[in-house]
A and B are shown apart, each in its own frame.
Chain A
Amino acid sequence: MAKKKAVLSIDGEIQINYKWSVGKAGDRFFTELRDHKKIMGTKCRQCGRILVPPRIFCEECFVEDMEWVEVEPRGSLLTFGESYFSTDGKRLKEPWMLGIVRLKGSNGGLIHFIRESRPEDLKIGMPVEAVFKSKPEGNIMDILYFRPANN
């Protein structure tokens, strides 16, 4: 088949900068994270579920009736995945990994990096703990990563 002749094209991109409000719930969460290295959740007074990330409302009971509770900086690994590629597409010896962590005593959790381990060391349901940044700034990267923990 004859190669089709491409019509002309022009270059373009959309680049817009933002400043996102973290919301009322996020404000408390990130303040506590920054100032006390605490992970906070909101507990629904009606169903008792503890939400992390916190919300000012419970999506199940659909009420704004929440109290703040501290959640342990550790939990179990719901699932994880790894990648062996660096930014320039080169194959890495040590992979980087993401996991979804269900924080202990909560009904939610965080998606975050999993480090200080190799994929073969990890299994679904295993305990992991958070490692915090020494100089927190009030964003989710104040948690540097999660790592395998003892039970």
Chain B
Amino acid sequence: MNDRVCVVGIGVVEAKDPMVDVSHKEMLFYATRHALDDAGLERKDIGSAITTSFDFLEGRSLSNQFTLDSIGGVMKPCDLRLGEDGIYSLFAGYMEVMSDPSQVVVVASVQKASERDPDGLSYQKLIADSMEPVFSRPVCKSVPNLLGLEPVLAAMEARAFMDRTGLSEEDLAEVAVKNLNMDKGTKGSGPDKKTVLKSDMLSWPIRTMTKAKEADAACAIILASENRAKDLQNEPVFVSGIGWCSDKSHLAFREQGVSRETKWAARQAYKMAGIRRPDREIDLAEVSDWYAHRELLHCEALGLCGSDEIKGCVADKSFQKEGRLPVNVSGGLLGRGNAVGTSGLIRVAQIVRQIRGQANGFQVPGVGVGLAHSWGGIPTATAGVAVLSKW
């Protein structure tokens, strides 16, 4: 296949504080407008548009329909996706371009967590409502405090992971400190390990500071074939590998403390990108650090380190910005906040910035191949992986 798919434009709207002055439709419009400007394109150039969203996160059925106007999709062939992470829109967009290489495709996602009660009861209800309704949900619905549900579910898998790998609470705190300090250039000195280990314990080993806080964000990415990208203003960034996958639906049938979904998604993406040794061939990775232990769990599943090397990688700072393989230099979900469903697409935009050399304060020199990973969150076992490259 001679045609390849490139990212030709990105637009991100994000903030740690609730974005009280705009609606989700408006946020997504700004993201799409930025992406079009970045690519030097207009709405008339858009061939088709794809958006993803989650109904119950938004309190809207068919929530994806509402944003059609915001992504320039009126009277266009649109593809509207529900219940998938934003990074899935990249996968669908990739296939859309490969099916018709003359097209420019916009893929987009928005999350306005602040319209619920961020990190509050609504999200916990949602987790219970994601459980299969007959065998698991009644138990989850009758816990003494629904606010504790997500931390307990996260703690269960963290415990199994730590039990297997010998990781300690200090190791998890190290991850949190790394990510919380990535943007200290703008925010002043971030917390240290002591502060993290003193933060409220939600359910051992999950603490308020080892769990990402919800945030509002929107992201749009513009894709085109290599041929089409030649005429555009940006140096293209190639989507060289994609993979997505889900593990078993019942919690009790899954192996605990591993991320098979990530491993299998990565396997597809690496095969497509021709990557045999991800630990050596990938220059930089943005992986889901919804909880601190999840960053390490995912690094393992992505093959960025061996199972027996995880503890060592924390100790020798392999995943720090100056380390062997920088992970989450953007600050990740812990540092930047987690716009559930949209963050996955933002990770892609961050890798694109790094490859273009436009990451400003976060720039890692000489990034040729970057990896973006997203995980669906508790209680799903769903992951998406994208490998992006300069050549």
| Interfacial residues, chain A to chain B (CB-CB below 8 A) | 4-7, 9, 12-14, 18, 20, 22-23, 26, 51-53, 59, 78-87, 89, 96-102, 107-113, 119, 124, 139-141
Contacts and interface: CB of A to CB of B under 8 A. Distances in A.
B145 A87 contact: yes
Contacts of A84: 148, 201, 203
Contact of A124 (B23, B160, B251): B160
Given A53-B134, A79-B157, A141-B138, A102 B252 contact: yes
A13 B59 contact: yes
Interface of B: 19-23, 56, 59, 61, 115, 132-136, 138-140, 142-149, 151-160, 163, 201-204, 206, 248, 250-253, 256-257
Given A5-B21, A82-B204, A110-B135, A53 B152 contact: no
A83 B148 contact: yes
Nearest to B19: A4
B153 A98 contact: yes
28 contacts: A4-B19, A4-B20, A4-B21, A14-B56, A53-B134, A53-B135, A78-B256, A79-B163, A81-B203, A83-B148, A83-B202, A84-B201, A85-B202, A87-B145, A89-B147, A100-B156, A107-B253, A108-B253, A109-B252, A110-B136, A110-B139, A113-B143, A119-B204, A124-B159, A140-B136, A140-B139, A141-B138, A141-B142
A139 B250 CA distance: 17
Give the one of A83, A97, A111 with max B CB within 10 A.
A83
Nearest to B55: A14
Given A83-B151, A113-B139, 10 more contacts: A5-B21, A13-B59, A79-B156, A80-B155, A98-B156, A99-B156, A108-B252, A111-B251, A113-B143, A124-B163
Contacts of B149: 83
Contact of A111 (B115, B140, B148): B140
Contacts of B145: 83, 85-87, 89, 96
A63 B58 CA distance: 38
B203 A111 contact: no
A39 to B, nearest CB: 11
Contacts of B151: 81, 83
Give the one of A14, A23, A82, A102 with max B CB within 10 A.
A82
A53 B139 contact: no
Given A53-B135, A85-B147, A97 B252 contact: no
A111 B139 contact: yes
Contacts of B159: 79-81, 124
Contacts of A113: 139, 143
A67 to B, nearest CB: 19
Given A6-B20, A87-B145, A111-B252, A97 B152 contact: yes
A108 B136 CA distance: 13
B35 to A, nearest CB: 23
Contacts of B19: 4
Give the one of B21, B61, B142, B156 with max A CB within 10 A.
B156
A107 B254 CA distance: 10
B157 A82 contact: no
A20 B252 contact: no
Contacts of B252: 52-53, 78, 100-102, 108-111
Contact of A83 (B132, B152, B157): B152
The 4 closest A-B CB pairs, nearest first, are A83-B148, A81-B155, A6-B20, A109-B252
Give the one of B21, B132, B154 with max A CB within 10 A.
B21
A100 B155 contact: no
Give the one of A84, A111, A113 with max B CB within 10 A.
A111
Given A14-B59, A78-B256, A81-B154, A96 B144 contact: yes
A86 B152 contact: no
Contacts of A20: 133-134
Contacts of A81: 151-156, 158-159, 203-204, 206
A115 B142 CA distance: 14
